[in-house]
Amino acid sequence: MTLSPPWKTGLALALTMAFSYIVCALLYRQWPAQGIDFLNALFHGLDFHKLASPAPFTLAVFLYPLVVLALWGFVVGTVFAWLHTLLHGRR
């Protein structure tokens, strides 16, 4: 089995995280109260209502986390693939 270069795994994770964030942000923009309720359920009842902000949902508020998540996904995916190859070797 030939493994792909680590950066390709990084790119796949970065694109997956970016896509997931875009979907999540669009749903939250449409239904903010239900989005917070979903987070509360996802995190075992931790109350996210206290973090709700009356600030408008601007392009900058959308883009900054998108870039951060995509970059983080690329780095984590690349390091993961590199370590996987290092530990398992190329076959």
**Which residues, including other chains, have CB under 8 Å from residue 44's CB and lie 6 or more apart?**
none
The residue ranges of every structural domain in the chain are: 16-88
Q: Are 13 and 84 in contact (CB under 8 A)?
A: no
3-state secondary structure 28-91: HHHCHHHHHHHHHHHCCCCCCHHHCCCCCCCHHHHHHHHHHHHHHHHHHHHHHHHHHHHHHCCC
What is the C-alpha to C-alpha distance for residues 9 and 79, in angstroms, rounded to an integer? 9
pTM greater than 0.75 (yes/no)? yes
Over residues 67-82, the pLDDT tens digits come to 999 999 999 999 999 9
Q: Give pLDDT, residue 53.
A: 78
